[in-house]
Structure 1
Amino acid sequence: MPTRRIIDSWLKAITPHTFTPPELAELLMALGIEMEVVDDRVAKLAGFIVGEVISSEKHPNADKLSVCTVSIGTADNLTVVCGAPNVAAGQKIAFAPVGTNVPTAGFTIERRKIRGIESQGMICSESELGLGDGHDGILVLRHDAVVGDPLASILGDVVYDTEITANRADCLSHLGIAREVAAVTGGEIFLPAVDFIESDVATADHVKVSLPEPDLCPRYAARIVRGVKIAPSPEWLQNTIRMLGLRPRNNIVDSASYVMFECGHPLHAFDFGRVAGAEIVVRSVAGGEEFTTLDGANHKLPAGALMICDAEKPIAIAGVMGGLNSEITDDTVDVLIESAYFHPPSIRRTAKLLGISSDASYRFERGADINNVRFALERAASMIAQLAGGEVLNGVLDSYPVQHAEVIVELRFARTGVLVGIAIPPNVQTDLLRRLGFGVHVVDDNHAMVSVPSFRVDVSSEVDLIEEIARSYGYDRIPLDTTATFSFSLSVDPKLRLVEHTRAFFVDNGAIETASNYLIDPETAQRYGVPIELRNALGRDFSALRTSVVPSLARTVGMNERHGRRTLRLFEVGKAFRANTSSSTAIDGVVEMNEIAVLLAGRAEPVSWDLPERMYDVFDLRGLLERYLVRVDAESLEFRSSNDARWGFGAPALEIWMGGEEVGRLGPLDDWLIARNDIASRPVVAVLDVDRVLKATGRRERYNAPTRYPVVHRDLSIIVDEATRHADLERTIRDAGGPLLTGVELFDLYRGDRLGAGRISLAYAVSFTSFEATMDDATIEGAMRSITERLAGEHNAQLRGA
């Protein structure tokens, strides 16, 4: 589990405070940061004091024991029998006088004889104090420790563990928590010193950095320290690393870790002598190659993983973990320090696919501060120069092709009161934001323009600023009976209403709604439009955004048929995406569509001994769509046959027209999709564009009382060319029939040699209705004459039998 620990003395060094542990925990809880004490060394070391070994002699009755004379700052020295091999005169030690409780051992110190010599206390090791795992000898304190002082005065500290929400990456460090504390106390922030002397040798002359994918790594900075001496870290640094719950490594690695926990920016140190070609290239890999990380684990790199490479090979998984082939060892002489910013989703994906959750990836995937890159690098170089010596080469190699754009947000002071529920004076609002590190330019009495610091990646809108104001002002200061002003308008987005009605209709008619993945393979996507392919795809089958919902339904049919379910009524309301050169869309070059897709497959009727088997066909689906479109108040609904391959359908198909615009298509499922998904049946499918359907709906039906007068029915049988469309004939009949015409139905189609080559007979039932009077024969005959004349003139139709 990545470390989120905070050490109280370290926090106080950055922003001094006087809070007790419970007070500090309560303060941060009010700010939205959960904190608890995990190691209270002040309480743990109660009773232990600083002592000094005056002399150490071999025990006369035991080979492995020593008899020591110990001073604890009182008039009389004490005799202590010690079994540690490293005890020696002149050492400052941790001493447990008689009566001291040793919690880790579970006993209280008493006077007792050990091999004939009375021991008046105990000289303690790290493990006996509960400060670490060292069992090899006693803990030797620094030489300036004052004899007789409580041990807690030099080793006592409080270690907290924090729970940081995913959006507050800025709080994953001592500096980040210090900013929160200082915002409340009004205290200053004291950044650690950066102090080293550069040599005359330029960094740029010794290493080259290339960033071929600046969207994944917009900034990469490096420094070189030559001639370092690898050694264990000094005791204070080792102690700090242990308090953080980690194991000390060496002075180089521990320095990089220390800086990360201090300022929140992960770093990495390479053995520069093992960087082939003195070149760093940050690039994604094709995948499949083996890579061994610092922990000795072998990993198969996923496609698209961002790697730090030298001129020959990968040497680190960017933002996740370094490689064993470039680690710092006892033989390291030259060190390259890396400080970079990586695209958070890229790091998150790689870490998840590899099953690695490191302290670095935990921070990078939540969003590091791109403007902290340089400071973290300089701070690490300063520490390494102090602890490992060496020569810091001149200058920083800072490749920064994609500059960070400052976020500016408008704040309306009155809006804060509306959302929070109480009036907070404008000057208080601006002061609270400035304390949190925001830049504030007051425009007038009503609003201000606020610049968001780069470390606050979670703030991008006015409501975010208002949340920060309320949080810092104190939620506990807002009365419980406060009522914020919100609009609870019941108006519903027409598109959402249409989608809701769509789902209800198809479910009521026995269809099952599917919710499919928007990612499909590019070959399938290509058949329905120009696809948008993903740069960091999970795999080939999920590397393109779907260009239609239809392939998703086809895939579902294939899967269900393989599991024995061959009769299906499916629908899905979802998005599809196509590439477009137009810049008028919300995202340039991308068209986002909302589609309704319906599919029928298998038997249209249940199996029965007295009914022949019938499979779903185009007419079943057409009837279902007609009922649906009438339900949503479609205007001027019309189906037209088409031989053009559009909307992802082959020919022949039916175009669905509403309000003078094509809104969708209906037809058999494409043969290519059938083969692609191993579908045994012959499904029929329809797709509608939600936005186009919405434009053609909205007609409000009016109630018409039944007429009190007789409805007149007439049959009309005509002979026309076989290529004539029924929809065109029906339109002509309705237009010519006048206002009394209320019904037109095609009830018969006949083909025969006596009609002539290429001619067919169509029979229509037409109905006339009046709401004002009984219609006479002359009125009906006049309407029928008008219809036949128009049909003859426009469609070369002739009355059958005439």
Structure 2
Amino acid sequence: MNVSYKWLQDYIDLSGIEPAKLAEMMTRGGIEIDSVPSRNLGVTQVVAGLVKTKEKHPDADKLSVCTVDAGTGEDLQIVCGAPNVAAGLKVPVAIIGAELPGGFKIKRAKLRGVESQGMLCSAKELGINDKLLPKEQQEGLYILPADTEIGRDILEVLALDDSILELDLTPNRSDCLSMLGVAYETSALTGRPLTLPNPAMELVSSGEWAADRLKVSIGNPELCAHYSARYIRGVKIGPSPLWMQNRLIAAGVRPISNIVDITNYVMLEYGQPLHAFDAAKVAGGAIHVRPAREGEILVTLDGKERNLEPHMLLITDAEKPIALAGVMGGLNSEVTDDTVDIILESARFDGGSVRRTSRQLGLRSEASARFEKEVDPGRVLEALDRAAVLMAKYAGGEVLDGVVEAGAANVEPVVLKIGLERINKFLGTEISLSEVETIWSRLGFHTVKTADEEWQVTVPSRRNGFNHDVDLIEEVARLHGYDEIPTTLIEGPTTIGALTKSQTIRRELRKLLSSAGVYEAICYNVVSPARAALFPNLNGSLEGAKPIPLAMPMSEERSVLRTVLLPSLLEAAAYNQARKTNDVALFEIANVFHSAETTLTKLPSEKTRLALLLTGNRAASAWNRAAVKADFYDAKGILDLLFERFGLTDRISYKAAQPENFHPGRTAELTLELANGSRSIGYVGQLHPDLQREFDLGDTFVAELELAELYEAVDATIKYRTLPRYPSVARDLAVVVGTEVAGGALVAAIKEAAGELLESAEVFDVYTGERLGADKKSVALSTVYRHPERTLTDEEVTEAHNRVLTKLEQSFGAELRK
């Protein structure tokens, strides 16, 4: 919000308070002022002048020699190249010695042999943003109104002797989206009284009632609580007065015509958006507020055709839509130079409805910004009267008697109770009773004393966002002064912050994977439907999960929420390899989104997953070694590292699997032993060759795991044990078993049979060959025995080892290989 300092002085006496000082007071009071630029960018000695004569330059086709009265006592001869210069016009004149923005100084000069005693100026040469001027003023000289006083300083004429307060408002201070709101705030901060417009006192009876020409109705009171209109007849369309144009330009609004400018001026003054319809274009003299119908179309004032949807609120006449409520008017009811009668609208539209319509159509306006924040619903009629009075005064219109309205004009005020003790306890202050009452008075809050040092406070409708007594306490703090609140130490019980169990596990996962040489990727949460369907087996318990579409996707490639992570990592790997980064190791920890519904009626389930991808070489070539390609066991080894860190090695098992889009012979399903049984938590394996070719990748190994089960299984308690004091005994054995027997099954059997003396068991070699037979393999295993409190005897180790051999023979038909 840009606030003109001079305009603000219409409502409050600011003598002795310079713009910079006022900006500091407002910032200290909780409304941040970004900057206080001056409208004068360096103009001196420029005055309003009259072009008395215009002659063609004798030696230049595009130059004119003008005689100008600048109020200096004698006429000036000025050479001008502007195409719109003409005798009888009043324009800005830079006399000898004047200075223009950029340090440009005006001196006596000769142009093509003709003496020039100054310069006639355009808006741009005065430092005015010509894009904010009426179209006829954007090229050539700035044409001043005919009644402009000759010789008057142009800074006063164009209100360039002004400063602009650029307010950076938070959402709860929408009251300051109006000049009156800023005036109320300034009054509260300075303690100075306000002088406010009273338009109702300026209305003159016409002897004819507006209700005889206009009818108003509301079809959806939830979206439009109050709609009011006035009828103004006999207006003459033309430019608005210069003072009004100056104020609009200072606020960043381009003047258009007197009727449109008045609606914008009152919107800036009161914060209440208004709209003017050409009454001749409103069929049947009837206005109806209703939601749009399926397939309806409206061409808005910007000339664009808008396809409407049923949630959008419309203003219609007896035949057609004529405006998008709270957003923009329709081209079919636009005020033009031929307009004679005006229907002036002022209404209270639902902020949520306006916001949704504005966002969906990509159509932001000053009006929609205010309706979205529900700026003072109590000023609907007051703003309507103010605009009607100005139209009568500056457009020659006659305001018909009465307001035609539908809905409730009354707004229920917010009433809150609070006591002095709570205020001081909350702020840590000792503010007196009289000071708090003074603050309520300066804010314009009506108070009734309900008990000793307690009040019932009625908040005016211009201040929204008041729901609890702490909102009142904030107002006391602002007006008392934030810097006056003493600094105190925190009292009461404190709780040491800590990570949750899941946060701790995720942090440790990231650390372990990074130390293993894997880079973390952060990918989009949205993918294409085709990518989302690549790995249906990874949907866990929701195998029928459907991708959840976005309402407004950026593109088809980013149109649904992902149900698995791997497609995103595959895209990242392909992206890297296309840029000659062939050795890729990536992981991602992120959420996936599952729902069994096509059309969502409830929130989808959100699950945290870990995904891993390896492709290319695990180790690059060097002078003393060849490159080593990544393989299945690299991916599995990284997972084993994680499981070992979290103490889950004995509870994880791998078994061969053939999920869709994985290599049928190089993939395993991971199962985790939990208290309530075993549960599949994901897969590790090689991509199917067809999918590898689709992404233009070589052999690629991936894994994706559910983390919820890991959170449940991991014991977050750190356990310590002493280093072993007694020696271990190692025994190796090699057994011949069928090729279908998994090494993990042999290790599990050994642990079961050996008992508590066994410290570890692992496979260290597998051999197949003709000597063993086509369906046989030799598995070599290493076992380590140790007792924590004494040295083991050979007899104890041999007994345990024999139990292992017996178990392997009975369970798998294993033969001890000699």
Query: With structure 2 as the length reference, what TM-score do the two structures score?
Result: 0.67
2:482 maps to which residue? 475
The equivalences for 1:592-611 within 5 A come to 592-607=606-621
Partner Cα separation in structure 1 for residue 333 and residue 142 of structure 2: 32
The answer for unaligned runs of 5 or more in structure 2 is 53-65, 78-85, 108-120, 540-544
Query: Which amino acid is the alignment partner of residue 168 of structure 2?
Result: T
1:739 counterpart SS class: helix
The number of residues matched between the two structures is: 728
Q: Which residue, out of 558, 561, 572, partners 1:556?
A: 572
Segments of structure 1 that go 5 or more residues without pairing to the other structure are 50-55, 57-63, 71-77, 88-92, 109-123, 143-148
State the match for 1:38 in structure 2: 38
- Distance in 2 of aligned mates of 1:556 and 1:103: 60
Match of 1:746 in 2: 763
Change (3 A) 1:548 1:450: farther
Alpha-carbon distance change, 621 to 285 in structure 1, aligned in 2, over 3 angstroms:
farther
Q: Secondary structure at the match of 1:472?
A: helix
Which residue number in structure 2 is paired with residue 59 of structure 1? none
Residues 507/736 of structure 1: CA separation in 2 closer, same or farther (3 Å cut): same
Partner-residue secondary structure (3-state), 2:507: helix
Deviations 1:489-519 (A, max 9, x none): 4634444443333333322222222222333
**For the residues of structure 1 that align with 2:729 and 2:664, how far apart are their CA atoms?**
43
Q: 1:138 to 1:283 in 2, by over 3 A?
A: closer
**Aligned partner of 2:790 among 773, 781, 791:** 773
Contact 1:409 1:449 (C-alpha < 8 Å) held by counterparts: yes
Contact 1:5/1:159 (8 A) holds in 2:
no
One-letter amino acid of the counterpart of residue 384, structure 2: E
Rounded Cα–Cα distance in structure 1 between residues aligned with 2:566 and 2:412: 41
Amino acid at match of 1:683: T
Report if aligned partners of 2:388, 2:399 keep a CA contact under 8 Å in 1: no
Q: What is the DSSP-based 3-state SS (H/G/I as helix, E as strand, rest coil) of the residue aligned with 2:265?
A: helix
- Evaluate the alpha carbon distance shift between residue 563 and residue 232 of structure 1 in structure 2; reply closer, same or farther with a 3 A threshold: same
Are 2:714 and 1:717 aligned? no
CA contact (8 A) 1:209 1:280 kept: yes
> Once superposed, what is the RMSD of the aligned Cα atoms?
6.4
Whether the 8 Å CA contact 1:343–1:365 is kept in 2: the answer is no
Moved more, 318-327 or 275-284: 275-284
Residue type of the alignment partner of 2:669: L
2:712 to 669, 688, 695: 695
CA distance in 1, matches of 2:672, 2:353: 46
What residue identity is the alignment partner of 2:720? R
Structure 1 pair 203/615, CA: closer, same or farther in 2 (3 Å)?
Answer: farther
Change beyond 3 A, Cα 1:37–1:494: same
Letter in 2 for 1:553: L
- Judge conservation of contact 2:275–2:329 (CA < 8 Å) in 1: yes
* Aligned 1:41-440 pairs, distance under 5 A: 136=143, 140=147, 159-165=162-168, 167-168=170-171, 170=174, 171-186=176-191, 192-193=197-198, 195=200, 199-200=210-211, 223=229, 225=231, 227=233, 229-234=236-241, 236-244=243-251, 246-271=253-278, 294=302, 327-333=334-340, 334-335=342-343, 337=345, 340=349, 341=351, 359-360=366-367, 363=369, 367-369=373-375, 371=377, 374=380, 378=384, 382-383=388-389, 386=392, 389=397, 395-396=404-405, 422-423=428-429, 425=431
Q: 3, 11, 15: which is aligned to 1:6? A: 3
8 Å contact kept, 2:570–2:695: no
Pick from 712, 731, 735: which aligns with 2:752? 735
Specify whether residues 737 and 675 from structure 1 end up closer, same or farther in structure 2 by C-alpha distance, changes over 3 A only: closer
Q: What is aligned with 1:120?
A: none
Displacement after TM superposition at 1:159 (Å) = 3.6
Query: Could you tell which deviates more after superposition, 493-502 or 127-136?
Result: 127-136
What secondary structure is seen at the aligned counterpart in 2 of 1:26?
Answer: helix
Match of 1:113 in 2: none
* CA offsets 1:355-380 (integer angstroms, 9 cap, x no match): x986457x459845384684587357
User: Identity of counterpart residues, as a percentage?
Assistant: 24
Cα distance in structure 2, aligned partners of 1:438 and 1:424: 21
CA contact (8 A) 1:409 1:460 kept: no
What is the CA–CA distance in structure 2 between the aligned matches of 1:649 and 1:580, rounded to whole Å?
A: 28
Q: Any idea what the Cα deviations from partners look like across 1:32-53, whole Å, max 9, x if unmatched?
A: 3345262489x9999999xxxx
Q: Kindly indicate whether residue 528 of structure 2 is the aligned counterpart of residue 511 of structure 1.
A: no
Q: 1:789 to 1:304 in 2, by over 3 A?
A: farther
AA in 2 matched with 1:713? R
The aligned residue for residue 542 of structure 2 is none
Q: 1:440 to 1:622 in 2, by over 3 A?
A: farther
TM-score (norm 1): 0.68
Find the partner of 1:654 among 655, 664, 669.
Answer: 669
Give the counterpart letter for 1:26 in structure 2: E
1:626, distance to aligned residue in structure 2 (A): 1.7
Match status 1:628 vs 2:626:
no
Q: Deviations over 1:270-296 (max 9, x none)?
A: 55766899887777999xx998864x8
Give 1:739's aligned amino acid. Answer: E
Query: What letter corresponds to residue 553 of structure 2 in structure 1?
Result: A
Q: What residue is the counterpart of 2:118 in the other structure? A: none
Q: Which residue of the partner structure matches residue 585 of structure 2?
A: 569
Deviation at 1:650, TM superposition (A): 9.6
- Alpha-carbon deviation of 1:624? 1.0
Distance in 1 (alpha carbons) for counterparts of 2:807 and 2:631: 34
Task: Assess, with a 3 A threshold, how the Cα gap between structure 1 residues 382 and 137 changes in structure 2: closer, same or farther.
Answer: closer
Q: Return the alpha-carbon distance in structure 1 between the equivalents of residues 253 and 745 of structure 2.
A: 80
Q: In 1, Cα distance between the equivalents of 2:186 and 2:732?
A: 88
Distance change in 2, residues 1:465/1:576 (3 Å): farther
Cα distance per residue 1:536-581 (max 9 Å; x no partner)? 3333333333333333222211212222222201122333333478
CA gap of 1:773–1:319, structure 2 versus 1, over 3 A, is: same
Cα distance in 2 between the residues matched to 1:446 and 1:647: 74
Match of 1:666 among 667, 679, 683: 683
**CA 1:9–1:590 in structure 2 vs 1: closer, same or farther (change >3 Å)?**
same
TM-aligned CA distance change 1:129 to 1:775, over 3 Å: closer
Q: 1:667 to 1:708 in 2, by over 3 A?
A: closer
CA positional deviation for 1:253? 0.9
Please give the alpha-carbon distance, in whole angstroms, between the structure 2 residues aligned to 1:670 and 1:284: 51
Distance 2:382 2:662 in 1: 54
Distance 1:326 1:184, change over 3 A: same
> For the residues of structure 2 that align with 1:399 and 1:721, how far apart are their CA atoms?
85
Amino acid at match of 1:517: Y
